[in-house]
Chain A
Amino acid sequence: MNKTLKRLSLYIHIPFCVRKCLYCDFLSFNADNDLIDEYFKALGKEIVLNAGEYADYEVDSIFFGGGTPSFPDAKYICDTLSLIFESFHVSDKAEISLEVNPASAIFGKLNSYRRAGFNRISIGAQTLNDEELMKLGRVHNASMFYDTYENAKRAGFDNINIDLMSAIPGQSLESYLDTVKKVLSLRPEHISAYSLIVEEGTPFYDMELDVPSEDVDRKMYHETKSILAANGYHRYEISNYALSEDKECHHNKVYWTRGNYLGLGLGASSMVENVRWKNVSDIKKYIEIFAAKEDKDRNNVDKADVFVDNFKKYREDVEKLPIKSQMEEFMFLGLRLVRGVSLEEFKNNFSCDIHEVYAETIDKYKNMGLLKEYTIDGHTNLCLTDEGIDVSNTIMADFLFD
């Protein structure tokens, strides 16, 4: 690893799906082959155009998310990754993940991904109960999931995540725990356990849902932690568990520790050196911008100009974060990690003591037993207690300034 280079993570958004799940509010949709083809062309151009800006950076992690990255033809994904290798300095040890859907990840595809350089697979299982999968509007069933898991192993993946979801309509505690146990018997390296959040604008929002009560929901969460702990998985973030420390998802930790990440593709979010922005989320526009680039190249227009032009066009909500926002983020993102935030790091980043800024909030929640400070290797961290995690939004909101 070259120490003089700055660190960077890359997120690649693949906005395509067979169809949208009933609860999904991510940027995704079905598309025909032509649109998919055009999209990857544009994405390739975005990668190449951006790479120059990041000559001083080394890439530690790459994450292909969606949508369903396993839905389009594997060649698009593999070519895109190759292009990234050619354009950026990618570390040998980089964690390179891909989200796959059990319905579309056949062995041939998984094999290609592994060969192309992906070393981590995240499987969106959600639940192993077919009835629950149907309620969610998923396109796969439990047996497809087992096949996918088996195929991923066969293709040589030794770092696999399984996404689980609790609080699914009609789900009982027993049925949830049944899924958890079945997943545990596979011994994946990593498990993400989310609870369903019904978002406005999704079909679920307008449906009468028989979601488990809050008490059951909390039981699911607490049971998850204890069962997983008993099986050797440690929780390192509100919803994430790993079998060993080196299997924690590096890419996700970059988000919580405010590392640099560049989002490429439709609607992808970025934060580099405390500047946040988001790419356009209209696919026609996105493709148009990069198609225009091609036309102008043909007419021999100065390349640099075109780049600057388009650069502005497809990035939205560009915000240079003021110190206060950086502090807020430092707190509400850092507290998602079980280890919490380092008081020393706060001081280094912001040249002031955390207690000067947040004494009232910290004391309040410490007294309520929802936050705690602990010292490890001579460093003091502030983190949520187990009770605090249950109500973490309330606490995090209090770290925002008026």
Chain B
Amino acid sequence: MDQSKIRNFCIVAHIDHGKSTLADRMIEKTGVLTSREMQNQVLDNMDIERERGITIKSQAVRMIYKAKDGEEYTFNMIDTPGHVDFGYEVSRSLAACDGAILVVDATQGVEAQTLANVYMALDHDLDVFPVINKIDLPSAQPQEVKDEIEDVIGIEAQDAPLISAKNGIGIEDVLEAVVHKIPAPVGDSLKPLTALIFDSIYDSYRGVIVFVRVKDGVIKKGMKVKFMATGAEADVVEVGYFGPGRFIASDELAAGDVGYFTASIKNIQDTRVGDTVTDSARPCDEALPGYKKVMPMVYCGLYPADSAHYSDLRDALEKLQLNDASLFYEPETSQALGFGFRAGFLGLLHLEVIQERLEREYDLNLVTTAPGVVYKVHRTDGTVFDLTNPTNLPDPSEIEYMEEPIVNGEIMVTTDYVGAIMQLCQERRGKYLSTDYIEQTRAILKYELPLNEIIYDFFDALKSRSRGYASFDYELKGYEKSELVKLDILINREEVDALSFIVHKDGAYERGRKMCEKLKDEIPRHLFEIPIQAAVGGKIIARETVKAYRKDVLAKCYGGDITRKKKLLEKQKEGKKKMRQIGNVEVPQAAFLSVLKLDSTD
């Protein structure tokens, strides 16, 4: 195919500014799908994504557009995940593009996240052009927004298409702008194959389906390809393009093309996002830049609520991992929760997404333990190991020192909330670096923050303290020495391993106190008094008590309607079944989750 007729691009936008709707309209206008075929949002095809309004797995779609100049163009639109947890995946998706459409809401203007996304696109040398959406709303201020884009971002905006994605206004202009404002790819089909993996999914019939952007060379059926980072090799079975919602096989993908290939690959770990695919027979000199092996940042225990479902959970994790190379898990046991898994995630959202998918798609009832990060434990004997489960922390006498992961965090916030956010960062042991004012009302705060301070409820706290105006982005800086202790929770004097976690020594008391308070509310009253204690190194630092209940009696006569009385008792018994037995205390599953959210503003 003539490279000059190809346009590879993505759409960047603040959440709710209409990215998915615009994508849908473009797909409609290019005539690949009829309106009737259109699902509400073609790109976001997972339930969870739709409900949360975010995109998790990147995907691509090819459109054929007959432009006003009479030529037929091939558009490859690559969707990008919208969350910092998937920052690396986003960067690889952007690397597969040559340009980006920036969608800005005509009523909201440029928002913090818009900036973060645009900067990321510009960092990848993409040509960005803006479109102003929702111009049909009475409160739309297209001219002001155009000026703002030029002022704040510094890109030309006066001729930005004015559209309403929802009502299909101005979509033609966007399509034309793609032709004229997004550069055509400039690869060389004669060079050795160099293709960037920006995503992959697992299909039970075809094995792994690898999503690639071909930079140079050609990939075709029958050729042997090599994955440069993992070293894996495979024979290409099929290549093709992305139709909306389906794959369209073709003979080859050449320089500039975006498409997929299959090669009977069984293990998705072999096809890592960011890796370079080349021709085994005629390899390229060097891999494309930017590849990173993605390591889990956050770990937690996943347990079936009913231990009988252990193997169901294992099967479900296995299936999820087929599609998600960044999901890690291994079996572990907990005294409190029985058999389960320690699972690693890119971040808290990733964790929540997996958890929800397990519950929703696999109908599993889960108990999740407090998420933690990976600590480096330096033993007195000079050895170092990575600690992913707090219960594995050795005796303090065997520990020389510990290190924890630190991130470089950037918080974009309106100036009204700078004070509140700085206080939050302070509370989270943040080290202040700088404040940059990007305009009069907006600032970027830079902090070094311990990762374990932001994985719990930092996003929630950020949102609540800035009324939703702050956005947060971070990347791992490295490990630093820190004074960490293991906080244990005792319920009725019995240590509950599933509730133990690592915390900075200065925050132990506060955290312990809050956990006890939370647990006190979550644990129902029993026939006896239940002390709930927090301890560090065997020393109790906080305590709450769940009082014994005094009354649980049906002092009412239902006459001869015994069935009704039995139903009441059965309901009571059923309620108990849903709880976890810890010693002789019944702990509801919600108790394990509630301790994850302990924002200090409460």
Contact = CB atoms under 8 A, between A and B. Distances in A.
Interface of A: 11, 65, 192-195, 197, 214-215, 217-218, 221, 238-239, 252, 255, 261, 263, 268-271, 276, 278, 317, 319, 328-329, 332-333, 368, 370, 389-394, 396-398, 400, 402
B551 interface: yes
Interface of B: 527-528, 549-557, 559-563, 565-566, 568-570, 572-573, 576-577
Contacts of B576: 397
A394 B572 contact: yes
Given A394-B527, A400-B570, A400-B573, A194 B555 contact: yes
A263 B558 CA distance: 13
A111 to B, nearest CB: 26
Contact of B555 (A239, A317, A319): A239
B574 to A, nearest CB: 9
B562 A255 contact: yes
Contacts of A276: 562-563
A329 B557 contact: no
A239 B556 contact: yes
Which of A197, A261, A397, A402: most chain B Cβ within 10 A?
A397
B308 to A, nearest CB: 13
A332 B569 contact: yes
A94 B562 CA distance: 23
A390 B572 contact: no
Contact of A391 (B553, B555, B561, B570): B553
B552 A271 contact: no
Contacts of A329: 562, 566
Contacts of A239: 555-557
A332 B573 CA distance: 13
Contact of A317 (B552, B557, B563): B563
Given A368-B528, A391-B527, A393-B569, A238 B553 contact: yes
A197 B551 CA distance: 12
Contacts of A393: 552-554, 568-569, 572
Given A370-B527, A393-B568, A394-B572, A11 B552 contact: no
Given A329-B566, A370-B527, A393-B568, A261 B560 contact: yes
A170 B539 CA distance: 46
A238 B552 CA distance: 12
Nearest to A215: B550
B560 A271 contact: yes
A389 B553 contact: yes
Contacts of B562: 255, 269, 271, 276, 329, 333
A194 B569 contact: no
B81 to A, nearest CB: 45
Contacts of B556: 194-195, 197, 239
Contacts of B555: 193-195, 197, 221, 238-239
Contacts of B559: 11, 65, 255, 269
Closest 6 CB pairs of A and B: A269-B560, A397-B572, A397-B569, A397-B573, A391-B552, A393-B552
Contacts of B552: 390-394
Contact of B560 (A214, A255, A317, A370): A255
B551 A214 contact: yes
Given A263-B560, A370-B527, 4 more contacts: A278-B563, A393-B553, A393-B569, A397-B573
Given A332-B569, A393-B569, A394-B527, A11 B550 contact: no
B549 A396 contact: no
Contacts of B573: 397-398, 400
B563 A218 contact: no
Nearest to B564: A269
Given A329-B566, A332-B569, A393-B572, A11 B554 contact: no
B551 A390 contact: yes
Contacts of A389: 553
27 contacts: A11-B559, A194-B557, A197-B555, A217-B551, A238-B553, A238-B554, A238-B555, A268-B560, A269-B561, A269-B562, A269-B563, A270-B560, A271-B562, A276-B562, A317-B563, A319-B563, A329-B562, A329-B566, A368-B527, A370-B527, A389-B553, A391-B550, A391-B551, A394-B552, A396-B569, A400-B566, A400-B573
Contacts of A214: 549-551
A377 to B, nearest CB: 29
Given A269-B559, A269-B562, A278-B563, A400 B551 contact: no
Contacts of A394: 527, 552, 572
Contacts of B553: 221, 238, 389-393
A60 to B, nearest CB: 14
B553 to A, nearest CB: 5
Contacts of A368: 527-528
Contacts of A396: 569
Contact of B557 (A192, A370, A392): A192
A319 B563 CA distance: 10
Contact of A390 (B550, B566, B570): B550
A81 to B, nearest CB: 18
Of B555, B562, B568, chain A has the most CB atoms within 10 Å of the CB of B555
Nearest to A27: B561
A221 B551 CA distance: 10
A49 B190 CA distance: 99
A197 B560 CA distance: 18
Contacts of A392: 552-554
B546 to A, nearest CB: 14
Given A333-B562, A393-B569, A197 B554 contact: yes
B585 to A, nearest CB: 14
A396 B565 CA distance: 11
A205 to B, nearest CB: 15
A252 B557 contact: yes
A332 B566 contact: yes
Given A271-B562, A333-B562, A394-B527, A400 B557 contact: no
Contacts of B551: 214, 217-218, 390-391
A333 B573 CA distance: 16
B306 to A, nearest CB: 13
Contacts of B570: 397, 400
A290 B257 CA distance: 82
A391 B557 CA distance: 16
Contacts of B569: 332, 393, 396-397, 400
Nearest to B577: A402
